[in-house]
């Protein structure tokens, strides 16, 4: 028995799991159809090198790309009441939520972290479109408020990356109430005199656009991101005509005065850093990639926050470990929540 369970079974398992690997090696760009090698795509932060299509990127990858040396700490988010309406459509909301949590290994559609951008302490909240379309419910509201409170406590800026299909219907009116709730959080920052920067990513719609996503001191968007209140399909049904090319895309919004700039993902870190340093009246950020801070310059976050210590880039100056394993798990260890 021991021989079978210790030797034969792992062998068989490894044979099967190995077969799945080649499927993930190549990704087809949804816009230009180019086949992209996973390593190349990951290095480009999931932007197609051929057509500049900005594809989905996970919040963890974004945190890593954004913070100095890829180092950051999670900010704890208070758990809201689970399924307060006992909502059920074809499926129970409680089950949908459980499935989404299992699939994404994240607690909900927004993650919050603190770290440094060009040595400037910054709190960053990132909405995850893959988690139930990034929809805004009580948890996202709590995450946003926790992010704002942390920024106020640290006297540092808040940067929010938005992406959402809108409010989370399964939480009914309580999802709608996240609009005023998050707006209160934005006011906390404004009153503390701290910058609040919004980066709109594909797609940001509905109640999220109509609350914190449009209240930034500086509004940035990724190229071609769909940004709207009512989606194009709803509008087409209402006015019964086809909409112009590029309607409700980032560049269109820029033309209509709704944004300050459209910035490629690979330039985001530098642009954000510059804006933050200007608004915080700090000296200019040093160009280029900064190594990770040698000392943990940040005070510990809330007691429940777990430091994301050992991300691939956390190896610091001996960063060749990271170079050797660029496809190392994008998620920082120790960042998992119950």
Partner 1 sequence: MHAYLEFEKGLAEIEGKAEELRAMARTNDGMDVEAEAKALDKKAAALLKELYGSLTPWQKCQVARHPDRPHCIDYIDALFTDYTPLAGDRNFADDHAVMGGLARLDDAPVMVIGLEKGSDTRSRLDRNFGMARPEGYRKAIRLMDLADRFGLPVITLIDTPGAYPGKGAEERGQAEAIARSTEKCLNLKVPLVSVITGEGGSGGAVAFATADRLAMLEHSVYSVISPEGCASILWKDAEKMREAAEALRLTAQDLEQLGVIDRIVKEPLGGAQRDRRATIEAVRKALPKLLDEVRELPADELIRLRRRKYLDMGSKALVA
Q: How far is the CB of 209 from partner 1 (least distance, A)?
A: 4
Minimum distance, C-beta of residue 134 to partner 1, in the bound complex (Å) = 15
Which is closer to partner 1, CB of 20 or CB of 89?
Answer: 89
- Cβ at position 259, least distance to partner 1 in Å: 10
Cβ 235 to partner 1, closest distance in Å? 5
- Cα separation, 261 vs 251, in Å, equals 9
Q: How far apart are CA 92 and CA 266, in angstroms?
A: 40
Nearer to partner 1, 27 or 183 (CB): 183
SS3 161: strand
Query: How many CB atoms sit inside 10 A of residue 192's CB?
Result: 15
Q: To which H or E segment does residue 104 belong?
A: helix 93-104
Q: How far is CA 268 from CA 117, 272, 327, 328, in A?
A: 11, 6, 22, 23
32 is in an annotated binding site: yes
CB of 82 to partner 1, least distance (A): 9
The dihedrals phi and psi of 305, each to the nearest 5 degrees, come to -70, 140
DSSP SS3 for 122: strand
Residue numbers at the binding site for partner 1 (CB under 8 A) = 80-81, 84-90, 138, 141, 145, 167, 169-177, 179-181, 183-184, 186-187, 206-207, 209-215, 228-230, 234-235, 238-239, 243, 247-248, 256-258
**Of 122 and 204, which has the nearer Cβ to partner 1?**
204
Q: How far is the CB of 186 from partner 1 (least distance, A)?
A: 7
Tokens of 269: 């870190």
Q: Is 228 annotated as a binding residue?
A: no
DSSP state of 38: H
State which residue, 73 or 174, has the beta carbon closest to partner 1.
Answer: 174
Query: CB count, 10 Å around CB of 8?
Result: 10
Q: How far is the CB of 198 from partner 1 (least distance, A)?
A: 11
Distance of CA 15 to the CA centre of its chain: 34
When the beta carbons of 12 and 261 are compared against partner 1, the nearer one is: 261
What number of residues does the chain have? Answer: 338
* Residue whose CB is less far from partner 1, 127 or 209: 209
Contact 125, 144 (CB under 8 A): yes
**Chain position carrying tokens 């946003």:** 144
Is residue 117 within 8 A of residue 93, CB to CB? The reply is no
Q: Which is nearer to partner 1, 220 or 332 (CB)?
A: 220
What's phi and psi for 153, nearest 5 deg?
-65, -40
CA–CA gap between residue 191 and residue 179 (Å, rounded):
18
Residues making up the annotated binding site are 29, 32, 48, 51
Residues making up the annotated binding site for Zn(2+) are 29, 32, 48, 51
């Amino acid at each position: 028995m021991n021989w079978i369970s210790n030797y034969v079974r792992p062998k068989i398992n490894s044979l099967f799991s190995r077969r799945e690997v080649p499927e993930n090696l190549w990704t087809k760009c949804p816009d230009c159809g180019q086949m992209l090698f996973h390593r190349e795509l990951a290095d480009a932060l999931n932007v197609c090198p051929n057509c500049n299509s900005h594809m989905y990127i996970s919040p963890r990858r974004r945190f890593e790309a954004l913070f100095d040396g890829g180092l950051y700490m999670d900010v704890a988010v208070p758990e809201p009441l689970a399924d307060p309406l006992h909502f059920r459509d074809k499926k129970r909301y409680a089950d949908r939520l459980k499935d989404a949590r299992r699939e994404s290994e994240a607690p909900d559609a927004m993650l919050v972290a603190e770290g440094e951008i060009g040595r400037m302490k910054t709190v960053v909240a990132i909405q995850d479109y893959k988690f139930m379309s990034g929809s805004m419910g009580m948890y996202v509201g709590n995450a946003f408020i926790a992010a704002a409170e942390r920024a106020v406590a640290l006297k540092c800026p808040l940067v929010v990356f938005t992406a959402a299909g809108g409010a989370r219907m399964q939480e009914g009116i309580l999802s709608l109430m996240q609009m005023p709730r998050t707006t209160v959080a934005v006011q906390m920052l404004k009153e503390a005199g701290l910058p609040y920067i919004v980066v709109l990513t594909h797609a940001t719609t509905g109640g999220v656009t109509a609350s914190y996503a449009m209240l930034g001191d500086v509004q940035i968007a990724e190229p071609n991101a769909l940004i709207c209140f009512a989606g194009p399909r709803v509008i087409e049904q209402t006015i019964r005509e086809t909409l112009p090319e590029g309607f409700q895309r980032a560049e269109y919004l820029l033309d209509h005065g709704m944004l300050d700039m459209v910035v490629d993902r690979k330039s985001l870190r530098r642009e954000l850093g510059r804006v933050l340093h200007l608004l915080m009246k700090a000296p200019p950020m040093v160009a280029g990639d900064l190594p990770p801070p040698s000392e943990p310059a940040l005070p510990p976050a809330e007691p429940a926050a777990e430091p994301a210590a050992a991300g691939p880039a956390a190896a610091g100056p001996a960063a060749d470990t990271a170079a050797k394993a660029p496809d190392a798990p994008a998620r920082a260890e120790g960042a998992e929540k119950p």
